[in-house]
Structure 1
Amino acid sequence: MQNLTLRKKYMQATLSKLLATLAIYSQRRVITMLFLGFSAGLPFMLIFSSLSFWLREAGIDRASITLLSLTGLAFAFKFLWSPLVDKLAIPTLGKICGQRRSWLLLSQFTILSCFLLMALQDPLTNSEDTLKLMALLAVIAAFSAATQDIVIDAYRIEMAEPELQGAMAAMYIGGYRVAIITGGAGALWLATWFSGDQTGYQLTAWQSTYFVMGSLMLVGVLTTLLMPEPKRLISQATLDMEHKGAAVIAKNFPEHHIISRLVTFIYVGIVCPIWDFIKRYRWQAVVILLLIGSYRIADIVMGVIANVFYVDMGFTKSEVATISKVYGVIMTLVGAALGGFITKYIGVIKVLFIGAFMSAITNLLFAALAHIGHDTTFLIFTISLDNLSSGLAQVAFIAYLSSLTNVSYSATQYALFSSLMLLFPKLIGGGSGWIVNQIGYSHFFIFTAILGIPVLVLIIIAGRVIPPKNSNDQQVDSKNSLPIP
């Protein structure tokens, strides 16, 4: 009887803990990330996917269309202007809305304007001038979308304590995935609907589609207007580092005001964020940077050649689209939600390990698929598990990166971390076709799974790294932080 009572109390305590963990998804700041994720994902598809479809239907040559993909470099090099987002205040708007919200509104209104202007264009009329204008609008939209990403990452870090970062990341990924479907398949469906019974290229259908899709950026604008500005508290040590360095610079360039301002900008915006990270983690920073640079290596390297693999295995476009867009997206959302939940429950390091382990194991399923061949059932199973592990790993990794940043440099440091995350895997992924030609698909996927083993070792080592007393000790208002001159 006593054992039964103890068991009942244990179950009640466990249930209460689970419900308390799930309750984090009902918090306003967590829900906010769902809509900001949608605002971040929508321009990505409208720039890099749907726009290509529109231009090709209009008869624009492939070479001109593929050149537009270079606008994606804005996302790869966003760390270059992230110091501006951290330190530069937007005149007037910054005073009204605050540092983060003003940058968000500026980037969102710019993206909205670009898509509405695209909706007024006709690629077939004065095609050369029109294409140049559409390319320029795409570049501006991509630059603004990358800026929006910088601000959203910084906002997420500053709005919630580390325990909530998993849930915040899960909501962000959920909103982002919904936007990917909306801006991709949704835009194609809408263009078809606007075409009615008419076949072939319909200019007004695409113009109406981009007008509607561009207007959906108002979701992000409205969210930004309704959400609070984060209160940025930074450490006195950080302030001392900035002001002492700036004083030395001013002393050495007393008569060169422009040079002094430029050097101060480089010191405050670039040197301080990097030195702050090294100073806090010392030699352990090497382990952390190695983990950041290699964590997503197994799935990113495999993902580069995934579509080529599907074609070679005889899968049709409709099969791949249906399986990846339906089962894949659903399982990514499930993985993200699961990742946010268990990150709160068992901690980010353990979830990092689980995500990395699952990513490596699912690559072995692709190796098995290479032997099996065209089998839609096994493809559904493989893609489902692969996307489940991807969603879980993304949430854990975002939460981990967020925990490493100093709130005084959240935009800059997170942008640097996220860029480093993609650099090494993308370099290896660029040679994945050559590797497959040498060893075949099965051995290639086994190779990508093996790449995940050092990552597991790094996670174990990183888990033993004792986080320093963060930059938030002896906190003061960030208004005392040295602005970029």
Structure 2
Amino acid sequence: MSETAAGPKPGWRAVGRALGNRKTGFMAVFGFAAGLPYSLLLGTLYAWLSDAHVDLETMGVFSLIGLAYAFKFLWSPALDRLNLPVLKRLGRRKQWIVTAQILLGAILVTLSRLDPVAALGLFSLLAGIGAFASATQDIAIDAWRVDVADDVATIDMLSTVFQMGYRTAALVGGAVSLILADRIGWPTVFLTMGVILLAAGAICLFAPDTNAEAQEARADEASGELRSAGQLSPGVRTIALGGVGLLWGWALVTVVIFMIRSLGSDPAQRPDAMEFVAGTGPLIVLATIMLPSAIAAVLVYLQRKGRHLLTVDAPDQGMGGQALDHLYRALILPLTELVGRMGWGLVLALALVLTYRICDSIWGTFAYPFYLGELKYSKDEVAIASKFFGVGAIVLGLALGGMLLTVLGRMATLTLGAVLAAVTNLLYADLALGGARMAVLSDVLGVTWLVEHLGGEPRLGALMVTIGTENLATGIAGAAYIAWLSSIVSKRYSAVQYALLSSLTLLVGTLGRGALGRMIEEQGYYRMFVLVTWIGTLAIVLSLLEWWRTARSSTNSAV
């Protein structure tokens, strides 16, 4: 999808048309429904467990449910090929989205009726199922966004609205839930959140979607085309499928074994989750993305060179042959389509995926130690600056990013987001040196005056301005990044391709945090922020190269 072909000419009227489209409204609901369980299960739930005096070691085991999000691409092919009995009439994507929302709502309601100490086993099982359902919902929603985008509800606007709904849900599931818990108790909070998700499931029944039966018929037709003259021979396809199948099978078995070992009764035998993600995570990405992409590149090369092709239509091989064809379509064709369409541009796209969000992800683990330990802010001050003021700023940034996408264009906004994400690290560098410049900026903007008149310490203004500016930049960059990533995905294989590409961003921060932590201990936060700024310049360069590639591709396709 080229930028020109993805939607109407940039302009403010296009923004109004997109915001008034019903697809955009449902995208906001989908975004909220995706962000709420993530915030509750991977954040707020630990506050409840802490209040219930569950030990830290047990809570560490609970954190493993986050792996469902990190490795959700492993079951993404199923969502492109399988339909749920009876529910497939809802639509190709909606059948999974609505089912996940209702299941999540029921799980949260059930959790509200349980004692996390007395029923810890059932409690953890439900939380794990909830994380799996939430990750599955994310796969389907990402694919739905790509599938239903058109010239009015553009992929840029849908991506922005999704992020706004997601971030709003993070505020509701995080800060708002914490405040409510002190007043109405955790069971009532989770009951309320469960009812909200059940209501979202009911609302989303009326969302538009592609037809599952029509898609299934097209898939069967495409499977038949695999055996027609001019296609790769069944022997070559079987070898490729066997190689990719072994790689994906190893990844699935590795994750399952890790989960089983982690849930064992002997704490001493439980593996370290961070070591698994940092050590085995890259191997899983290599086995499920990099090596299969190389195999797909070989298949594309053979097809284009006319080697190992069928000269006549191959006969139907029965149920076994049809099963292999379906597996080939699920695992191989999404990759061959991507490689064939993008060529060497896919290498650039993968490099951009790996680096674009690194500025705001790699040091996130050290944010609270920086605020509380290094800068000596109180917990209340950090909560005000990061949760309420910060979330407001990121939602504003997303709104601004959506406007810029429509007015300036996707690649200009993507590049601007990379610049802002890199430069805003220098604001934190100033805080690490004492925050003199940020204090002056806070005075000029009137934030210091506002903080003082609300009874706060004047120095809080510098933190609020820094976090607010960074989150504003993160919102712009996030809106542009999701829109760009969605634009390079094919509608035919949206679930698999988007899940594969987006998964690359989840492990990057984890892989660099160990080295970054040592650097902070040895050289301090200031040098770390300067280093992250320099790392961000790589994303700027790659954004410019991708802009050039996209423009060139659009020009060539127009000739």
TM-score band (shorter)?
Answer: 0.7 to 0.9
1:179 counterpart residue number: 169
How far, CA to CA, are the matches of 1:467 and 1:19 in structure 2? 24
Alignment of 1:29-44 (within 5 A): 29-44=23-38
Deviation at 1:113, TM superposition (A): 1.6
Partner Cα distance (1:372, 1:469) in 2: 48
Q: CA deviation at 1:92?
A: 1.3
> Which residue is equivalent to 1:340?
402
Does the 8 Å contact 1:281/1:467 carry over to 2? no
- Structure 2 residue aligned with 1:97: 90
1:98 alignment partner AA: G
TM-score by length of 1: 0.84
1:29-428 alignment runs, 5 A limit:
29-94=23-88, 96-124=89-117, 127=118, 130-161=119-150, 164-194=154-184, 205-230=185-210, 242-245=223-226, 249=234, 260=321, 263-311=324-372, 312-372=374-434, 375-428=459-512
CA offsets per residue over residues 288-331 of structure 1, 9 Å max, x none? 11111111111111223111111221011111111111211111
The answer as to whether partners of 1:280 and 1:468 remain within 8 angstroms in 2 is no
Instruction: State the Cα distance separating 1:47 from its structure 2 match.
Output: 0.9
2: CA distance between counterparts of 1:436 and 1:257? Answer: 61
Structure 1 residues 281, 106: CA separation in 2 closer, same or farther (over 3 Å shift)? same
Could you list the per-position Cα deviations for residues 428-481 of structure 1 after superposition, in whole angstroms to 9, with x for gaps in the alignment? 1343211211221001000000001111111111112147999xx9xxxxxxxx
Aligned residues: 440
- Distance between the aligned counterparts of 2:515 and 2:106, measured in 1? 38
- Is the Cα contact below 8 Å between 1:294 and 1:425 reproduced in 2? no
Please, what TM-score do these two structures have when normalized by structure 2? Answer: 0.73
Give 1:20 deviation, angstroms: 4.2
Q: Is the 8 A contact 2:12 2:406 kept in 1?
A: no
| 2:456 corresponds to 1:463 | no
CA distance in 1, matches of 2:427, 2:171: 26
Q: Is the 8 A contact 1:82 1:412 kept in 2?
A: yes
- Quick one: structure 1 residues 282 and 459, their matched pair in 2 at CA, closer, same or farther if it must change by over 3 Å? same
Distance 1:454 1:123, change over 3 A: closer
Do 2:11 and 2:406's aligned partners in 1 also have CA atoms closer than 8 Å? Answer: no
**Residue 528 of structure 2 aligns with which residue?**
444
Deviations 1:150-194 (A, max 9, x none): 111111111113772222122111111221121122222222222
Structure 1 unaligned blocks of 5 or more = 1-15, 195-204, 474-485
Which residue identity does 1:208 align to in structure 2?
Answer: T
- Partner residue of 1:480? none
Q: Which residue identity does 1:303 align to in structure 2? A: G
Contact 1:36 1:223 in 2 (8 A): no
Q: Once the two structures are superposed, what CA deviation does each residue of 1:112-138 show, in whole Å capped at 9, x if it has no partner?
A: 1211111121134xx3xx111111101
State whether residues 156 and 165 of structure 1, in contact with CA within 8 Å, keep that contact through their aligned partners in structure 2.
Answer: yes
CA distance in 1, matches of 2:189, 2:110: 12
Question: Aligned pair in 2 of structure 1 residues 366, 252: CA closer, same or farther (>3 Å)?
Answer: closer
Return the letter of the residue paired with 1:161.
D
- C-alpha RMSD of the superposition: 2.9
* Contact 2:142–2:495, Cα closer than 8 Å, also in 1: yes
Cα distance in structure 2, aligned partners of 1:136 and 1:387: 35
Q: Secondary structure at the match of 2:540?
A: helix
Q: 5+ unaligned residues in a row in structure 2: which ranges?
A: 1-9, 240-314, 436-457
Equivalent pair of 1:35/1:219 in contact (CA under 8 Å) = no
